[in-house]
Structure formats: structure tokens, C-alpha cells
Amino acid sequence: MIVRGIVGSPNSQGRSAELVQLALQGAKDIGADVEAIFLSDHDLKPCSDCTDLRCHDEGRCIFSDDLPKLSEKIDTSDGLIVASPVYWSDVSNSTRTLFSKKIRMRTQKTNGLPALGMLVAGGSGNGCTEAMRPMYLFFEKLRFRTISSFPVTRYNYTQARDYSYKGGKKIAEMAKNRSKLDPVALQLLNNDLRYRNYSRIDERRLIARLIVDNFEPSTLDERKIKKEWTTEMGRMKNLFSRDQKAEAILILDRIIMEGEKRFA
């Protein structure tokens, strides 16, 4: 059994790389062989949306690149982990390129293959759930048995490390009993994936919640700030329930702006 982890960040020492290594360690502890694949070590030409469809018919792009090699690695895995940094609320360009090209190849070899995606935001945290969409879509198109992703931000990075390790373990466990998904099961699975249907405001609420929950005050002043944020979160919730969105959004903006400074 082999579980592979794809790192979609150009930074081989960064957070995406660290979370993939942790997930692979989890899989290894269940008895899997593991391999990390760094997209930045591969030559992947952007998809030109051509109508040649050589990728579909012959398994290679009209531009000579590492697509066949990467595709083979994915198809022969028993479990897959993909981590991409969040760039402008999306996956990285190399990750997106792999996704588009692999989807276009339309190979049917990944049906039921367990998969976990991780989206690693760093700055504002914006896009930590929005960027899950292209990841989830990739897994859906290739009929993976996807498990829910989780938002990775600098506010919850300690938990994210733990989730990654446990996620890797889960993928390796699932790989032992791989079974195909029929079209209905595939739709149901993908409909229920966590954060998939989050709106922009849902995401902002989540980021603010992560800030408030994970802020550990060490001075009296900081304790006061945390208490104030907690009260404001309650007020924000009330405002949303009364459809007073504009005022509620201003509260979220303030907490997120202040939080960014506190977690710098």
C-alpha cells in the first residue's frame, strides 16, 4: 500500500510541505509506504485548453512535460494527500495546472481512492474555505473517496498539524478497504463535504471564530481584548439573525483586522 502526498507550494520548507509530511507520517504509522511529491520539482506546462485532446487519447500533453509521470503516480496510489497554499483565495498555479490537466485526461483509475486536501492560508486567512472548491472539484471529477478538508490558517496551525497527522492515518485506514463509488454515492459524498458550500460571509465568520478561540492572552490587557471579542461575536451573531448584515460585517472586519496583528 502506498500513500502519496503532493505539495503544491514552491516552498519546500513551508507549511504545505510540513502538513504533507505529517499526514504521510500518519499513514506510515498505519503501515503504508509513503512518498512526497513536490510539484516545483516537476515540469508542468499550463493547460492551453486545446482541442487536440492528446492528453485524453495518449495520456500526454501536446507540450512535452511531466504530466504522464505525475498522472501515473496518482493512478497507482492507494491513498492521496494534496496540500496547496492559498493564493488569492484559490489553489496555487502549479496545483491548478495539475488539476486541469489530470481531469482532462479522463482516466478512470482513481474511483474510490481515498483523498484528503489541505488548503494552507497564511496572510489574512481569506480563501481558506473558498480554495477548497477547486480541490474538492478535482477529487469529485476523478471520483475519489474524499474526506472533509479543514481550514488551515496561522490562527489554528497547531490544530492543523494534528488534523494532518490524523487525516493521513485515516486515509491509510480507508486504503485498506477501497471500494468504488457509484454515481449516486459520489454525488451524496460530495454534497456533504464540510465547508464546500460556505459563502464569503461564512468564511469571514469562521476566520473570526478561529481568531477568538485560539488567542491565548498573557496579559491583563489581552484578557480584556479576548473578552471584548467574545462579546462582539455574540453581538455579530444577533445582528446576522436579524438580517442586519452591514453592521455584523463591520464587527467581523474589526476582529479580523485586530486578530491579524495579534497573531503576527
Ligand X SMILES: Cc1cc2nc3c(=O)[nH]c(=O)nc-3n(C[C@H](O)[C@H](O)[C@H](O)COP(=O)(O)O)c2cc1C
Which stretches of the chain bind ligand X, using CB under 6 A? 9, 11, 14-17, 85-89, 120-127
**Nearest distance from C-beta of residue 92 to ligand X, angstroms:** 8
CB of 200 to ligand X, least distance (A): 12
Cell numbers standing for residue 117: 486536501
Q: How far is the CB of 5 from ligand X (least distance, A)?
A: 13
Q: Which is nearer to ligand X, 17 or 113 (CB)?
A: 17
- Give the shortest CB-14-to-ligand X separation in angstroms: 3
Q: What sections of the chain are H helices per DSSP?
A: 15-28, 54-58, 67-75, 93-105, 132-141, 157-176, 183-191, 200-214, 220-241, 245-262
Residues 6+ apart with CB under 8 A from 120: 9, 14, 15, 16, 19, 83, 84, 85, 86, 152, 160
* Residues 93, 40: Cα–Cα separation, whole Å: 11
In terms of CB distance, is 164 or 190 closer to ligand X?
Answer: 164
Please say which residue, 89 or 159, places its beta carbon nearer to ligand X: 89
- Name the residue with the smallest CB distance to ligand X: 122
For residue 76, the minimal CB distance to ligand X (Å) is 25
Rounded Cα distance between 219 and 222, Å, is 5
Which DSSP helix (H) or strand (E) runs through 85?
A: strand 79-85
- CB closer to ligand X, 14 vs 68: 14
Tracing cell 500526454 back to the chain, one arrives at 60
Cell numbers standing for residue 231: 462579546
Looking at beta carbons only, is 86 or 239 nearer to ligand X?
86
